[in-house]
């Protein structure tokens, strides 16, 4: 026995190395086969997602888009060209980024919120998720227009419910959040009560329709506008701004975008006009002072002349006076230019140096002129100085008057540097949701998820799909039993009979045999069991007795199915067969024969009944059965009792074949106890459910108990594209008489 165990362990190690070397190889054919095997699941999930995507696309509220076009000019035009440099003084160049931020500022959008009353929210109340879409598709949408809605300050964020009482007369009622009625009103009439002020301008809804009214803050309304408004420059440095706004209400988004465009346009005009107005105010404030200085200089000159009997300047003095006035004018102009150029350049710049040099030259001329004036008589000098003051002030005053006139003309002709090229227009077709795209993406998502589920399930649960996987563990496969459609029908029949027995417990048990070997002897599963009969005949030649134990690694793998039908196949050859249900915990072998489970193995092992009293005849000749009996508190201890070994000896002598159906070896120790007395041990595994690891551990469990497992039975084999092992030789079957 130890040599057998060592040989098996060596073969297992060698095979495991081969499996590890092939583990990294991706079998594309197997992956494709997995998908083909689960094609109905993939198709169902894909169809489900596709239907869901189409339903969402149809029920989702459409979102529309409105757009407008503005032009921001970089230079002033129109009336500003008439005033020369004064127009350029107030024309400023703004980048597109700056204009975008101005448009999306609270200054512009806040006016839109106030003018369109966007702080008021009024929404119909529909059935969650699908109600709004169904109402839109059926043309039963409810609409309301509210021009005024005020609530008490402590209820600023609370929602009020409006219920339509009479659609024809426009009557409605208001309710608070707790369902208490606040007031009743009518469309077109102001409602004021308890701090609530409401004016419903229009209402289109059926009787009983409900609306949710709420008041949001101005800041939240502005933020909502900022989130839905998009402003972009078309091209590079074109000054053409494209405005777009998205929303569910086509009429509202058009009004909003037009209002934003108008507010931006008006603020631009007001800004340019305000600059001219500011300069005009500044000049008008200084004109009185300049005029006062001019009058004062004229009075001084006149007084001096009167005292000195109207002294007139000679030709030389008049010439000097003209030169002095011109020098003062040039120096004043240089002072203005220096103030402007100092903001753009440093004193090291050539333009700044040139200006300083020119001023220095003019100052030198002025000094020379002052020296020549000192040579004139005193009276002439005084008259010359006073006359100079009068003419200089007079020129400054006239210049300021001209600037005032120019600014007045500029202010009157201000049009701004913004032009509305295209007013807001709403697209007829909704931009969201994109119905074809959603349907396609939902279908693809369903397909990907279903495929991923199939592949992940296959990766985490690697059930046995071919005899080669079992033989790699050093265990020969005696039979591969195909899954039977007939057996599924019989299982459903068993379920119905069990339900009937629950309702008629006091009636006698139905003795009808429900066994595949009897119901359909030509079934491929029974043909496979006939092959097992031949294989087992040769395997039992060296066995110590004619007792065969059938076990498995885990429950629900078909041990009872194999035991019952194999016993029937052997019995039909004329051999006397006894099948024993040794699973005293959850055995249900009696169901296949329509027999009661009472008076079975547990009663015999506990000494309550004798062997002959627990053996039950079946409807099949040469086939007897011992059911499990009532569930005992100590099944393992009963199997270890000498009565069980005595029973094995008795059964071995009285029958040609004794089949013992045992519980899973990985769950309990019962199979190890039974296997020690049985001459042959077979292990059953279920196709695609039992794993190679489970079989390996179960095999090791039997080896530790000193039990040699002769062979393996692969049960419920299905024809799968992912498996390299199909029905193959099972395709040959009995031919129908009708053929």
Check residue 128 and give its pLDDT. Answer: 87
Residue 431 within any structural domain of the chain: no
| End-of-domain residue from the set 257, 282, 315 | 257
Residue 426 within any structural domain of the chain: no
Check residue 568 and give its pLDDT. Answer: 93
Residue 55 within any structural domain of the chain: no
Say yes or no: 322 and 205 in one domain. no
Check residue 84 and give its pLDDT. Answer: 42
| End-of-domain residue from the set 356, 382, 415 | 415
Say yes or no: 208 and 340 in one domain. no
Residue 32 within any structural domain of the chain: no
Burial code of 395-404, b = ≥16 C-beta within 10 A, e = fewer?
bbbeebeebe
Residue 429 within any structural domain of the chain: no
pTM of the predicted structure, to 2 decimals: 0.61
Say yes or no: 277 and 244 in one domain. no
Check residue 151 and give its pLDDT. Answer: 83
Spatial strand order of the sheet with 657-661 comes to 477-482, 711-717, 680-686, 547-551, 657-661, 577-581, 623-626, 616-617
Residue 46 within any structural domain of the chain: no
Say yes or no: 251 and 336 in one domain. no
Q: What is the CATH number of the domain that holds 576?
A: 3.40.50.300
β-strands 711-717, 477-482: how paired? parallel
Check residue 534 and give its pLDDT. Answer: 85
Q: Could you tell me which residues are beta bridge partners of residue 122? A: 213
Say yes or no: 195 and 298 in one domain. no
Say yes or no: 280 and 334 in one domain. yes
- Cα–Cα distance measured from residue 125 to residue 616, given in angstroms and rounded to the nearest whole number: 71
Check residue 373 and give its pLDDT. Answer: 67
Say yes or no: 396 and 477 in one domain. no
Say yes or no: 393 and 468 in one domain. no
Say yes or no: 251 and 299 in one domain. no
Burial code of 33-66, b = ≥16 C-beta within 10 A, e = fewer?
bbbebbeeebeebbeebbebbbebbebbeeebbb
Say yes or no: 277 and 253 in one domain. no
| End-of-domain residue from the set 257, 287, 312 | 257
Using DSSP, state whether 346 is helix, strand or coil: coil
Say yes or no: 397 and 499 in one domain. no
- Cα–Cα distance measured from residue 497 to residue 490, given in angstroms and rounded to the nearest whole number: 10
Q: How many domains, in total, are found in the chain?
A: 3
- Cα–Cα distance measured from residue 349 to residue 341, given in angstroms and rounded to the nearest whole number: 10
Length of the chain: 739
* 480 in Cβ contact with 686 (< 8 Å): no
Residue 506 within any structural domain of the chain: yes
Domain that holds residue 335: 273-415
Check residue 172 and give its pLDDT. Answer: 93
* 347 in Cβ contact with 353 (< 8 Å): yes
Say yes or no: 234 and 351 in one domain. no
Low-confidence ranges of the chain (pLDDT < 70): 1-27, 75-94, 156-157, 274-280, 282-283, 286, 301, 305-319, 321, 336, 339-340, 343, 370, 372-385, 407-416, 494-513, 721-739
Residue 652 within any structural domain of the chain: yes
Name the nearest CA neighbour of 70 among 426, 422, 425.
422
Check residue 10 and give its pLDDT. Answer: 45
């Amino acid at each position: 026995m130890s040599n057998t165990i060592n040989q098996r362990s060596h073969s297992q190690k060698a095979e495991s190395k081969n499996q590890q070397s092939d583990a990294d190889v991706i079998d594309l054919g197997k992956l494709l086969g997995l998908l083909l095997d689960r094609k109905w699941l993939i198709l169902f999930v894909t169809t489900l997602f596709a239907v869901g995507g189409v339903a969402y696309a149809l029920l989702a509220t459409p979102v529309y888009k409105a757009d407008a076009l503005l032009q921001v000019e970089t230079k002033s035009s129109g009336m500003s060209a008439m005033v020369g440099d004064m127009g350029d003084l107030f024309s400023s160049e703004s980048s597109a980024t700056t204009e975008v931020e101005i448009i999306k500022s609270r200054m512009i959008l806040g006016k839109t919120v106030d003018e369109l009353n966007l702080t008021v929210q009024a929404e119909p109340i529909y059935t969650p998720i699908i109600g709004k879409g169904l109402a839109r598709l059926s043309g039963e949408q409810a609409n309301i227009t509210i021009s005024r809605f005020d609530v008490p300050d402590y209820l600023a964020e609370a929602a009020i419910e409006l219920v339509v009482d009479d659609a024809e007369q426009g009557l409605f009622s208001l309710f608070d959040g707790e369902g208490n009625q606040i007031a009743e009103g009518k469309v077109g009439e102001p409602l004021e009560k308890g701090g609530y002020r409401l004016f419903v301008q229009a209402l289109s809804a059926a009787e009983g329709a409900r609306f949710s009214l709420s008041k949001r803050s101005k800041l939240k309304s502005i933020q909502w506008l900022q989130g839905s408004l998009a402003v972009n420059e078309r091209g590079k440095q074109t000054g053409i701004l494209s405005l777009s706004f998205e929303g569910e209400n086509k009429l509202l988004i058009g009004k909003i975008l037009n209002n934003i465009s108008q507010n931006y346009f008006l603020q631009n005009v007001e800004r340019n006009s305000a600059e001219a107005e500011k300069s005009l105010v500044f000049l008008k404030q200084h004109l009185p002072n300049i005029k006062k200085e001019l009058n004062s200089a004229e009075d001084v000159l006149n007084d001096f002349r009167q005292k000195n009997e109207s002294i007139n300047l000679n030709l030389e003095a008049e010439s000097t006076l003209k030169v002095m006035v011109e020098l003062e004018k040039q120096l004043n102009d240089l002072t203005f230019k220096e103030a402007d150029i100092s903001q753009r350049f440093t004193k090291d710049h050539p333009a700044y140096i040139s200006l300083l040099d020119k001023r220095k030259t003019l100052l030198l001329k002025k000094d020379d002129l002052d020296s020549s004036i000192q040579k004139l008589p005193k009276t002439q000098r005084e008259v010359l100085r006073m006359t100079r003051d009068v003419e200089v002030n007079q020129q400054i005053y006239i210049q300021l008057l001209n600037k005032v006139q120019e600014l007045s003309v500029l202010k009157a002709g201000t049009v701004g540097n913004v032009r509305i090229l295209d007013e807001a227009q709403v697209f007829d077709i909704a931009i969201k949701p994109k119905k074809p795209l959603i349907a396609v993406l939902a279908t693809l998502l369903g397909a990907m998820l279903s495929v991923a589920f199939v592949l992940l399930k296959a990766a985490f649960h690697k059930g046995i799909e071919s005899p080669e996987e079992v033989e790699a563990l050093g265990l020969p496969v005696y039979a591969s039993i195909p899954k039977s459609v007939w057996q599924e029908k019989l299982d459903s029949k068993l379920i119905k009979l069990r339900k009937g027995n629950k309702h008629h417990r006091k009636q006698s048990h139905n003795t009808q045999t429900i066994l595949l070997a009897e119901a359909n002897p030509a079934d491929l599963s029974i043909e496979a069991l006939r092959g097992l009969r031949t294989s087992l005949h040769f395997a039992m030649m060296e066995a110590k007795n004619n007792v065969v134990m059938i076990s498995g690694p885990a429950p629900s793998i078909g041990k009872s199915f194999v035991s019952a039908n194999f016993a029937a196949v052997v019995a039909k050859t004329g051999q006397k067969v006894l099948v024993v249900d040794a699973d005293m915990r959850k055995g249900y072998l009696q169901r296949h024969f329509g027999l009661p489970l009472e008076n079975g193995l547990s009663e015999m092992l506990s000494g309550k009944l004798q062997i002959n009293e627990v053996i039950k005849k079946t409807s099949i000749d040469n086939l007897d059965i011992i059911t499990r009996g009532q569930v005992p508190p100590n099944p393992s201890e009963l199997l270890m009792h000498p009565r069980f070994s005595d029973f094995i000896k008795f059964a071995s002598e009285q029958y040609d074949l004794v089949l013992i159906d045992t519980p899973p070896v990985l769950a309990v120790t019962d199979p190890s106890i039974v296997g020690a007395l049985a001459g042959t041990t077979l292990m059953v595994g279920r196709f695609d459910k039992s794993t190679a690891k489970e079989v390996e551990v179960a095999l090791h469990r039997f080896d530790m108990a000193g039990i040699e497992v002769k062979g393996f039975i692969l049960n419920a084999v299905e024809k799968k594209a992912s498996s390299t092992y199909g029905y193959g030789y099972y395709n040959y079957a009995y031919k129908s008489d009708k053929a």
